[in-house]
């Protein structure tokens, strides 16, 4: 199959290149921008049947004004209390000119001033959702006008709350995308220059993967617009690191094989056909494993996962298509010049000195045979190597007991944002839950009497954890009551989530008058349901993804035990990575990290395992014994895996400078995970298992190793 693809591409390379350019250009020009289908509110991804979603729908129908997005202007006097003059100045903020998106600004002299007089707050309501562009613009205008109005008074003012958090989150993620994109591209070019010492080879992955990236974003945005779904605002940044990281890996594997064949004396077209024929199956299988992992997210309850997974799967599929068609076409056109100014390759013919020493371009400048030494270590001491890897992974995996996911969207903002700063100031005088009260909705077929409502509110207010009730509001038909409750705990804390998801909901249902129904709404309830949905998604997606990996590997390797060994080892790499990440980030670990990390580390680790295992099987079929086959697999495929891992880890490491805590956590976790699965699992544990299990690991296949072949130092061609 891949030989036929290679021959078709090399016969008409310009047709392939022009077709890619035309299709990509048309999609990019016609499709909407991906920012038009993004949503920063993860709680909005809950199913429509969830309690908080039903409460929001009820509020929109019966209390349209209260269902709008809000924010809070927080006024303080740094280091002191607010005087009467200060409060008068704060009250005048309610009279500022309102941007068109603002429907109301209110200052309550009773409830808007903290008992200790250290903080005053004004509630601002907006006509549209928090994530809408006009709402974000109104937040910016109000921040500027309020700061100007209080200039010279010595007072400090800042805006926090739902709309302000959405605006700051959007800005932080947009800024992070720019930083990460620049850092990723610069890092890939630098690493490829060090590997190949050719500007053409260094730019080839960026140009081809970049074209694919444009196609992917256009497809996702068009699908979102046509089908009416939204994606998380982290998707553009995730697409950048995933596609450029994985895409560069696929191009790298092909370049290594192409370079090998040129050094062996093949003509460029023959070298392209041979290279694609040899690596096509492994690369396609590796991509299929990644696509299956991301595709498993379609089973999630949370829309955040359901859109992230397919979008990334589409991205990897397009990247694979580019690697199997566009890259070979470009190589055919450029010929040996792709490695210019390398001697010999650019002029034609193989350079002197025979095959590239172990490590080849990956370890250029190092002592010849360094990778072969590692291979001999695995082949001679497989049990020791395997035990060492298991001990390392197990030691890091102990940190799994420290995993305490955070559901706080404010905590995922950079520390210097106005939303996070104003939120901390608000807590100087108000209960932590004042920012986002939890609302209990009481619905009846008959009008609700004031006595009934009063008793209901009193019973809710008496519940430990409820700081105070706010005045209830009754709908115009008298059949629905809205009861806002300020909680004592921070609204996104574990204590608050546990309260609304258990005692408060139980108390509300028990206290409801006969013939009435109760719904809990608000951000705290929404994130409690996000937590429940996440736990369910983890329980479903983890085993499904693992089963898909086993099936894909079983089909590729035509064996039963070997695929199970590979999946167990790569899952151990994930557990070690999550344990180390939990140790580092403790209670601030974003709730989506475990599932995203699982898919990235296991899928990418499976990529590297496929390359090593395919080479191990090849050596066994050539008559090598299990231990020598393991040594040769490490020596031959090790440079490709090492180079790919360094580049992919580097692209995710670029997230560390994003400034967004979520991206910083993802960057650290995936970088560490790639290092563990590449250099501990793929290069040591997997071939060690192959050396120990021998032919039994390949049952029902029957590779026939020869016991007469003696161990020797292999003559290695990098990437072969």
pLDDT digits 0-9 by tens, 65-111? 765 788 999 999 998 999 999 999 999 999 999 898 898 888 888 78
DSSP for residue 479: S
Supply the angle between the helices 268-295 and 327-334 in degrees, to the nearest 10. 160
**Is 6 within 8 Å of 332 (Cβ atoms)?**
no
- Across 423-432, 572-581, 648-657, the highest mean pLDDT is recorded for 572-581
**pLDDT value at position 85?**
94
- Clarify whether residues 685 and 657 are in a common domain: yes
**pLDDT value at position 427?**
87
- Residue 459 belongs to domain with CATH number: 3.30.70.100
Say yes or no to pLDDT of 357 above 50.
no
515 cis-preceded (ω within 30 degrees of 0): no
Structural domain total, the chain: 4
Which two structure tokens, joined as six digits, stand for 671?
């970088």
In a domain, 174, yes or no: no
Find the mean pLDDT for residues 378-388.
92
- Clarify whether residues 151 and 287 are in a common domain: no
**pLDDT value at position 39?**
67
Say yes or no to pLDDT of 718 above 60.
no
In a domain, 408, yes or no: no
- Clarify whether residues 129 and 88 are in a common domain: yes
- Clarify whether residues 201 and 335 are in a common domain: yes
Percent of the chain with pLDDT over 70: 92
**pLDDT value at position 387?**
94
In a domain, 709, yes or no: no
Task: Identify the domain containing residue 457 by its residue range.
Answer: 425-527
- Clarify whether residues 429 and 380 are in a common domain: no
- Clarify whether residues 556 and 685 are in a common domain: yes
Euclidean distance between CA atoms 258 and 249, whole angstroms: 14
Dihedral in degrees, nearest 10, Cα atoms 70, 76, 78, 80: -150
- Clarify whether residues 389 and 508 are in a common domain: no
- Residue 636 belongs to domain with CATH number: 1.20.1640.10
- Clarify whether residues 308 and 229 are in a common domain: yes
Within 13 A of 666's CA, how many CA atoms are on the CB side? 27
Task: Among 492, 527, 562, identify where a domain stops.
Answer: 527
The residue with greater pLDDT, 238 or 379, is: 379
pLDDT digits 0-9 by tens, 204-263? 888 888 898 889 889 888 888 887 777 777 778 778 878 887 888 888 888 888 887 888
Integer angstrom CA distances of residue 475 from 53, 472, 616:
19, 10, 71
In a domain, 712, yes or no: no
What is the Cα 275 distance to its own chain's centre? 32
Task: Among 527, 553, 568, identify where a domain stops.
Answer: 527
Task: Among 283, 318, 350, identify where a domain stops.
Answer: 350
In a domain, 42, yes or no: no
**pLDDT value at position 360?**
38
Say yes or no to pLDDT of 365 above 60.
no
**pLDDT value at position 393?**
93
pLDDT digits 0-9 by tens, 20-60? 999 999 988 888 877 777 766 555 567 778 899 899 889 88
341 cis-preceded (ω within 30 degrees of 0): yes
In a domain, 58, yes or no: yes
- Clarify whether residues 24 and 161 are in a common domain: no
- Clarify whether residues 433 and 396 are in a common domain: no
- Which of the residue ranges 320-334, 379-393, 400-414 would you say has the lowest mean pLDDT? 400-414
Write the CB contacts of 52 (distance below 8 Å, at least 6 apart in sequence).
Answer: 43, 46, 520, 521, 522, 525, 526, 528, 529
Per-residue buried b or exposed e for 149-158, using 16+ beta carbons within 10 Å of the residue's own CB: bbeeeebebb
**pLDDT value at position 349?**
43
**pLDDT value at position 223?**
83
- Residue 82 belongs to domain with CATH number: 3.30.70.260
Percent of the chain with pLDDT over 90: 29
Find the mean pLDDT for residues 323-337.
90
pLDDT digits 0-9 by tens, 446-456? 999 999 999 99
**pLDDT value at position 345?**
52
**pLDDT value at position 716?**
39
In a domain, 711, yes or no: no
- Clarify whether residues 462 and 496 are in a common domain: yes
Q: Which of 246, 231, 217 is nearest to 319 (CA)?
A: 246
Dihedral in degrees, nearest 10, Cα atoms 675, 677, 680, 682: -130
pLDDT digits 0-9 by tens, 598-641? 877 887 777 788 888 878 887 887 888 889 988 988 888 888 78
- Clarify whether residues 458 and 505 are in a common domain: yes
In a domain, 92, yes or no: yes
Q: Residue holding tokens 């620049």?
A: 182
**pLDDT value at position 302?**
81
The residues that bridge with 480 in the sheet, in sequence order, are 443
The residue with greater pLDDT, 694 or 397, is: 397
The residue with greater pLDDT, 409 or 7, is: 7
């Amino acid at each position: 199959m891949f030989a036929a693809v290679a021959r078709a591409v090399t016969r008409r390379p310009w047709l392939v290149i022009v077709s890619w350019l035309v299709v990509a250009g048309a999609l990019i020009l016609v499709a909407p921008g991906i920012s038009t289908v993004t949503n920063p509110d993860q709680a909005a991804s809950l199913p429509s049947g969830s309690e908080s979603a039903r409460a929001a729908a009820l509020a929109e129908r019966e209390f349209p004004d209260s269902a709008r997005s809000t924010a809070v202007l927080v006024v303080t006097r740094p280091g002191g209390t607010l005087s009467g003059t200060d409060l008068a100045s704060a009250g005048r903020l309610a009279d500022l000119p309102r941007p068109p998106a603002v429907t109301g600004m209110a200052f309550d002299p009773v409830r808007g001033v903290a008992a200790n007089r250290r903080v005053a707050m004004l509630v601002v309501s907006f006509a549209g959702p928090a994530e809408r562009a006009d709402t974000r613009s109104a937040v910016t205008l109000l921040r500027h006008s309020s700061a100007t109005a209080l200039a010279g008074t010595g007072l400090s003012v800042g805006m926090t709350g739902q709309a302000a958090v959405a605006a700051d989150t959007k800005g932080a993620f947009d800024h992070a995308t720019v930083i990460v994109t620049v850092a990723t591209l610069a890092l890939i070019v630098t690493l490829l220059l060090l590997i190949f010492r050719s500007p053409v080879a260094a730019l080839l992955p960026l140009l081809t993967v970049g074209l694919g990236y444009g196609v992917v974003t256009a497809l996702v945005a068009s699908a979102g617009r046509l089908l009416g779904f939204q994606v998380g605002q982290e998707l553009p940044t995730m697409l950048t690191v995933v596609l450029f990281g994985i895409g560069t890996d696929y191009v790298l594997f092909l370049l290594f094989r192409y370079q090998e064949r040129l050094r062996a004396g093949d003509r460029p077209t023959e070298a392209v056909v041979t290279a694609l024929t040899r690596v096509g199956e492994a690369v396609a299988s590796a991509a299929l494993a990644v696509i299956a992992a991301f595709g498993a997210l379609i089973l999630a309850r949370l829309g955040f996962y359901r859109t992230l997974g397919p979008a990334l799967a589409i991205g990897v599929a397009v990247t694979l298509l580019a690697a199997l068609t566009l890259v070979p076409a470009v190589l055919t056109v450029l010929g040996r010049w792709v490695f210019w100014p390398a001697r010999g390759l650019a002029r034609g013919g193989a350079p002197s000195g025979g095959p590239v020493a172990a490590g080849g371009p990956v370890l250029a400048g190092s002592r010849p045979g360094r990778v072969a030494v590692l291979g001999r270590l695995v082949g001679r001491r497989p049990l020791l190597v395997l035990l060492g890897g298991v001990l390392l992974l197990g030691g890091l995996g102990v940190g799994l007991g420290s995993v305490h996911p955070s559901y706080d969207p404010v905590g995922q903002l950079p520390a210097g944002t106005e939303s996070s700063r104003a939120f901390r100031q608000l807590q100087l005088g108000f209960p932590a839950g004042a920012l986002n009260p939890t609302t209990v909705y009481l619905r009846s077929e008959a009008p609700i009497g004031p006595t009934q409502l009063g008793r209901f509110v009193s019973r809710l207010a008496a519940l430990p954890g409820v700081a105070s009730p706010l005045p209830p509001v009754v709908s115009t038909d008298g059949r629905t009551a809205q009861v806002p409750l300020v909680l004592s705990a921070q609204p996104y804390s574990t204590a608050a989530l546990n309260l609304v998801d258990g005692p408060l909901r139980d108390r509300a249902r028990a206290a409801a008058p006969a013939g009435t129904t109760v719904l809990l709404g608000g951000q705290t309830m929404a994130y409690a349901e996000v937590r429940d949905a996440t736990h369910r998604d983890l329980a479903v997606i983890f085993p499904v993804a693992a089963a898909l990996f086993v099936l894909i590997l079983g089909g590729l390797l035509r064996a039963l035990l070997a695929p199970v060994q590979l999946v167990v080892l790569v899952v151990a790499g994930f557990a070690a990575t999550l344990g180390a990440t939990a140790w580092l980030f403790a209670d601030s670990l974003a709730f989506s990290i475990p599932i995203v990390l699982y898919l990235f580390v296991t899928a990418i680790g499976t990529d590297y395992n496929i390359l090593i295992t395919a080479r191990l099987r090849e050596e066994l079929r050539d008559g090598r014994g299990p231990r020598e086959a393991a040594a040769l697999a490490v020596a031959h495929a090790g440079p490709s895996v090492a180079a790919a891992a360094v580049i992919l880890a580097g692209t995710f490491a670029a997230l560390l400078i994003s400034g967004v805590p979520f991206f910083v956590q993802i960057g650290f976790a995936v970088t560490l995970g790639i290092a563990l699965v590449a250099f501990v699992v793929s290069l040591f544990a997997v071939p060690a298992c192959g050396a120990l299990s021998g032919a039994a690991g390949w049952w029902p296949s029957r590779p026939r190793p020869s016991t007469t072949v003696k161990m020797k130092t292999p003559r290695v061609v990098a990437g072969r």
